[in-house]
């Protein structure tokens, strides 16, 4: 007879986590978050090893997990608790065994990270649960007393899939890491393609979902892309050859064609890599030296990128909350993200919608297949078509009288994605017949252009030049922090008149925001400034009011997380070392906080919260206790992240020195400053793709004002805007409103920073004591407010 499990009221709740289906980068971060959050809220944590196979087999494959068991897991690839195919679970007999093993281990909640098939199986398991436990009693496998505490099974799904094929969410755990792998490979292939003037056909994963192929096409500026949801026209061969021939005609030395493994034509016939190679190499056609690169499983390998790490972490935390909130009537949820907001959605409907896409593709109903994808997917598809066929589609050109001269200027410090945004803006302008004009070296270069020895230049963009900018970091036309007011507003206004600008597109950080504010205010005085203007935020600090996301912030986090991984490796070699790392970010703690979430920092110090001696003393005491309990077999070193302006006194070096002295030889500490490494490198796929989507939306917005006079511009608050992601939406916010309501001018950041509740999540998952003394700060009101809202 199996042991009797104590009634639920007399013990802690037990929550199990498992991974199923294929592995995805980031899964280990989700497992860590579930286990530690469950412990934090007073539950016991279990891991089911080897997926559903572990559930069916039971025994040692269902393992109790403690806090330290998952330390350092975020930087590990794959899934450390294993995943395996389990044919037994497809049958009721297998599910009966799984139910019995859960009850014997006292588990009444299961959080599963996997694809739609794995999550469908989980929902079926929950639906059958009453009949399964009833049958176990009837057959004598369990007693009524044993099953009484477990009449309800709570299940929550986390979607781990590199294909990003689940409907209802913008991103699945692992998809951006896979996209990063693809873009890295394509960037390398492009170099050899350009050297030899070759064409490459690159095949990526995606049987029923073209997200990876489409995003890779947007991020790398590929010449042609094939996806399952939207086959090309009947004469796709001629269409592809026309586009590529035009690109070669204007001087391109490389050709990249990306094809998803599930791509097909309008009749459902497969389009293979070999078929494309033969077409490109045909001596009667393009006659290009063409090679095939099939990326295969390299796409899903390696460690997770920063986004997948903190997405997995936040979704893992939310999954535990969803388990605790569940009632017998609650539909099985899965945790989704829309734009920038973590949400819960019904799992069954999402799975049905996902399966409906594959069915629509099979039935050649491609309009329905696209409609079942989210709006972002359609936006990216249209953005890709716009940027790859620039100046080729006569039907999309506006009449002469509606065409505009649009100035494009970069203001602030370099950030990943600035060049990709510029390329997309230029492509859209050329497609519509507008004239895109480059203003070199910011307002400083613009103001000095009239000198005998100009420091900058104002000229029309050349498409061939910008076409290669998709993957370039920095700013190809130059940028600096000088404001138009510094150069002299009268001079700037006269230059606007001289070059007859009809619109202005600013890409930049807080300086770009400030510049647009000055230009808006000067409109009353200078008629030449009465034109539509919009800002696309681009700064690693992510401190521009009006948006929760700025171009470059994701690239910065990737660079910082990679740096921290290397530091942790060094620290783990000595086993007893703390590294104090100084991050950039100005007076915004976004970078430090999100990086802390992604790398599992022991503590994060931000300007919003500040640092005092009592806080440092408490953290050092905590470190002493941690190392006293640590037997030395732990997987990784410990990190503290300090924003560069968190304190004018307590620098990273001083904090490291204090820790070293107080450690009294029991452990070591070092400081490390990555500095401008955080700004550099190849832009991340997220920064590249979002740059394209948002830049095109900006030019479309400017375009809507092409026939307005001064009075209409002055009276329309949306004639000067900042584009941004707010919650689950992309919005254009009027500058005047953002300046007055949302901006902390003194500290150069938004008044209400959306990410501040995440600071407490970092503390909770790192095990930092709750009674750490906090400096008195006007921004600390978020703590009580968000606890009330249930965010913490």
Distances (CA, A) of 658 to 14, 289, 619, 737, 755: 41, 62, 11, 45, 29
Nearest alpha carbon to residue 767 among 603, 615, 605, 611: 603
Catalytic sites, residue numbers: 163
Q: Which residues, 6+ apart, have CB-to-CB distance to 532 below 8 Å? A: 503, 504, 701, 702, 704, 705, 708, 713, 719, 720
Report the alpha-carbon distance of residue 67 to residue 73 in Å, rounded. 12
The structure tokens 């799904």 sit at 157
- Is the pLDDT at 449 greater than 70? The verdict is no
For residue 781, the model assigns a pLDDT of: 42
| CATH number for position 606 | 3.40.50.460
**Looking up tokens 């990190």, which residue turns up?**
639
Q: Of 723, 715, 717, which is closest to residue 737 (Cα–Cα)?
A: 717
333, 346 contact by CB (below 8 A): yes
Residue 332 lies in a domain: yes
pLDDT tens per residue across span 490-501: 999 999 999 999
Asked if 475 and 442 count as a contact pair (C-beta separation under 8 A), the reply is: no
Q: By three-state DSSP, how is residue 700 classified?
A: helix
Count CB neighbours of 597 within 10 A: 30
The pair of structure tokens assigned to 137 is 């009693």
DSSP lists the bridge partners of residue 270 as: 264
Residue owning tokens 């802390």: 596
Quote the pLDDT of residue 283. Answer: 84
Q: Which of 77-91, 126-140, 396-410, 764-778 has the lowest mean pLDDT?
A: 764-778
In this structure, the answer to whether residues 340 and 487 fall within a common structural domain is: no
Confidence at 23, pLDDT banded by 50, 70, 90: confident
Q: Does residue 218 fall inside a structural domain?
A: yes
Question: How do residues 224-252 score in pLDDT, each as one tens digit?
Answer: 999 999 998 889 999 999 999 999 988 88
Instruction: Give the per-residue pLDDT at 116.
Output: 84
Mean pLDDT of 512-519: 97
Same domain, 114 and 130: yes
Does residue 537 belong to any structural domain of this protein? yes
Q: Do 146 and 57 share a structural domain?
A: yes
* pLDDT class of 334 with cuts at 50, 70, 90: very high
Check pLDDT > 60 for residue 538: yes
Q: 316 and 462 share a domain? A: no
Pairing assessment for the beta strands 503-508 and 405-411 based on DSSP bridges = parallel
pLDDT at 631: 60
For residues 308 and 296, state if they share a domain: no
In a domain, 609, yes or no: yes
Are 225 and 281 within one domain?
yes
Q: How many CB atoms within 10 Å of residue 592?
A: 28
Closest CA to 47 of 76, 70, 74, 71: 70
Q: Both ends of the chain: CA-CA distance in Å?
A: 43
Q: Are 543 and 457 within one domain?
A: yes
Numbered residues of the known binding site:
22, 85-86, 115-118, 161-163, 198, 205-207, 261, 291, 297-300, 481, 539-543, 577, 584-586, 644, 670, 676-679, 748
Residue 790 CB partners (closer than 8 Å, separation 6+): 321
Are residues 539 and 424 part of one domain? yes
Whether 624 and 529 map to the same domain: the answer is no
pLDDT attached to residue 783:
42
**Domain range holding 269?**
176-300
What's the mean pLDDT in 769-786?
61
Whether residue 414 is predicted with pLDDT greater than 80 in this model: the reply is: yes
pLDDT value at residue 705: 92
Range 586-601 average pLDDT: 96
State how many domains the chain has. 4
Same domain, yes or no, for 782 and 642? Answer: yes
**3-class SS at 740?**
helix
Confidence of residue 633 (pLDDT cuts 50, 70, 90): low
**Residue list for the binding site for Mg(2+):** 116
Say yes or no: 165 and 211 in one domain: no
> Are 372 and 360 within 8 A, CB to CB?
yes
How far apart CA 452 and CA 466 sit, in angstroms, is 27
Q: Is residue 657 part of a domain?
A: yes
| Domain-located, residue 637 | yes
Residue 637 pLDDT > 80: no
What CATH code is carried by the domain that includes residue 511? 3.40.50.450
pLDDT band at 3 (very low <50, low <70, confident <90, very high): very low
pLDDT number for residue 572: 66
pLDDT tens across 546-565, in order? 999 999 999 999 999 999 99
Nearest Cα residue to 659 out of 669, 671, 673: 669
**Structural contact between residues 602 and 623, judged by C-beta atoms closer than 8 angstroms:** yes
Instruction: Grade residue 780 by pLDDT with cuts at 50, 70 and 90.
Output: very low
Query: For the segment 428-443, what is each residue's pLDDT rounded down to a tens digit?
Result: 999 999 999 999 999 9
DSSP state of 328: T
Between 180 and 120, residue with greater pLDDT: 180
* Distance, CA of 340 to CA of 548 (rounded, Å): 7
Angle at alpha carbon of residue 223, lines to 218 and 225, rounded to 5°: 65
Would you say residue 573 has pLDDT above 70? no
For the stretch 645-677, pLDDT in tens is 999 999 999 999 999 999 888 888 999 999 988
Same domain (yes/no): 426, 507: yes
Percent of the chain exceeding pLDDT 70 equals 94
Give the closest residue to 551 by CA, choosing from 219, 304, 312.
219
Determine, yes or no, domain membership for 380.
no
Other Cβ atoms within 10 Å of 621 Cβ, number? 13
Residues that constitute the known binding site for substrate: 161-163, 198, 205-207, 261, 291, 297-300
Residues within the annotated binding site for beta-D-fructose 2,6-bisphosphate? 481, 539-543, 577, 584-586, 644, 670, 676-679, 748
Mean pLDDT of the chain: 90
Q: Furthest-apart CA pair in the chain: how many Å?
A: 96
Distances (CA, A) of 553 to 420, 541, 590, 725: 14, 6, 9, 13
534 forms beta bridges with 505, 721
Residue 450 has pLDDT above 70, yes or no: no
pLDDT reported for residue 789: 32
What pLDDT does 311 receive? Answer: 96
Per residue in 358-393, pLDDT tens?
A: 999 999 999 899 988 878 888 899 999 888 877 677
């Amino acid at each position: 007879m199996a042991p009797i499990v104590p009634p639920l009221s007399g013990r802690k709740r037990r929550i199990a986590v498992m991974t199923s289906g294929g592995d995805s980068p980031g899964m280990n971060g989700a497992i860590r978050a579930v286990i530690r959050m469950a412990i934090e809220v007073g539950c016991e944590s279990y891991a089911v090893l080897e997926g559903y196979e572990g559930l069916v087999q039971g025994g040692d494959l269902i393992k109790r997990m403690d806090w330290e068991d998952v330390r350092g897991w975020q930087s590990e690839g794959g899934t450390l608790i294993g995943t395996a195919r389990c044919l037994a679970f497809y049958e009721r007999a297998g599910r009966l065994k799984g139910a019995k093993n859960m009850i014997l281990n006292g588990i009444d909640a299961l959080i599963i990270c996997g694809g739609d098939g794995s999550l469908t199986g989980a929902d079926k398991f929950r639906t059958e649960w009453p009949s399964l436990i009833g049958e176990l009693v009837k057959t004598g496998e369990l007693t009524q007393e044993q099953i009484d505490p477990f009449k309800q099974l709570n299940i929550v799904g986390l979607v781990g899939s590199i294909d990003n094929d689940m409907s209802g969410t913008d991103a699945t755990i692992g998809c951006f890491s896979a996209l990063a792998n693809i873009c890295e490979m394509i960037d390398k292939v492009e170099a050899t393609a350009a050297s030899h003037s070759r064409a490459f056909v690159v095949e990526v994963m995606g049987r029923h979902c073209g997200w990876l192929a489409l995003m890779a096409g947007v991020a790398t500026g590929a010449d042609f892309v094939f996806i399952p949801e939207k086959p090309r026209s009947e004469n796709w061969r001629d269409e592809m050859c026309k586009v590529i021939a035009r690109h070669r005609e204007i001087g391109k030395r490389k050709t990249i064609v990306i094809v998803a493994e599930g791509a097909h034509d309008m009749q459902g016939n497969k389009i293979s890599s070999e078929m494309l190679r033969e077409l490109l190499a045909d001596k009667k056609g393009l006659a290009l030296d063409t090679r095939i690169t099939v990326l295969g499983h390299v796409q899903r390998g390696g460690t997770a990128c920063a986004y997948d790490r903190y997405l997995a972490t936040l979704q893992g935390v939310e999954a535990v909350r969803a388990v605790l909130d569940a009632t017998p009537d609650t539909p099985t949820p899965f945790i989704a993200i829309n734009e920038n907001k973590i949400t819960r959605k019904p799992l069954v409907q999402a799975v049905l919608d996902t399966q409906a896409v594959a069915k629509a593709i099979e039935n050649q109903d491609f309009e329905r297949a696209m409609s079942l994808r989210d709006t972002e997917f359609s936006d990216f598809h249209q953005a890709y078509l716009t940027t790859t066929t620039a100046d080729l589609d006569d039907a999309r050109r506006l009449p002469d009288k509606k065409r505009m001269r649009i100035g494009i200027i970069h203001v602030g410090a370099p950030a990943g994605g600035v060049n990709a945004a510029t390329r997309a803006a230029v492509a859209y302008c050329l497609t519509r017949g507008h004239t895109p004009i480059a203003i070199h070296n910011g307002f400083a270069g613009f103001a000095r252009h009239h000198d005998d020895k100009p420091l900058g230049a104002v000229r029309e963009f050349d498409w061939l030049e910008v076409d290669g900018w998709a993957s370039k970091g920095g700013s190809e036309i130059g940028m600096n922090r000088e404001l138009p007011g510094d150069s002299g507003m009268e001079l700037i206004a006269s230059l606007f008149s001289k070059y007859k600008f009809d619109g202005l597109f600013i890409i930049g950080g807080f300086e770009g925001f400030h510049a647009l504010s000055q230009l808006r205010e000067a409109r009353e005085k200078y008629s030449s400034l009465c034109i539509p203007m919009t800002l696309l935020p681009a700064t690693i600090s992510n401190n521009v009011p009006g948006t929760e996301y700025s171009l470059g912030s994701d690239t910065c986090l990737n660079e910082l997380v990679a740096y921290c991984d290397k530091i942790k490796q060094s620290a783990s070699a000595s086993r007893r070392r703390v590294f104090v790392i100084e991050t950039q970010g100005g007076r915004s703690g976004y970078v430090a906080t999100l990086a802390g979430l992604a790398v599992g920092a022991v503590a994060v110090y931000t300007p919003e919260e500040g640092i005092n001696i009592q806080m440092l003393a408490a953290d050092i005491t905590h470190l002493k206790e941690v190392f006293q309990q640590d037997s030395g077999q732990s997987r990784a070193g410990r990190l503290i992240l300090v924003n560069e302006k968190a304190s004018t006194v307590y620098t990273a070096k001083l904090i490291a020195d204090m820790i070293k002295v107080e450690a009294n030889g029991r452990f070591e500490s070092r400081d490390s400053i990555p500095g401008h490494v955080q700004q550099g490198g190849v832009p991340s796929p997220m920064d590249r793709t979002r740059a394209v989507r948002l830049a095109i939306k900006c030019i479309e917005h400017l375009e809507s004002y092409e026939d307005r006079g001064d009075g209409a511009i002055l009276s329309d608050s949306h004639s000067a805007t900042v584009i941004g992601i707010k919650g689950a939406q992309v919005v254009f916010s009027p500058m005047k409103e953002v300046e007055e309501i949302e901006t902390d001018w003194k500290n150069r950041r938004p008044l209400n920073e959306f990410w501040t509740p995440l600071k407490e999540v970092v503390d909770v998952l790192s095990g930092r004591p709750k009674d750490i003394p906090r400096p008195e700060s006007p921004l600390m009101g978020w703590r009580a407010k968000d606890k009330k809202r249930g965010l913490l």
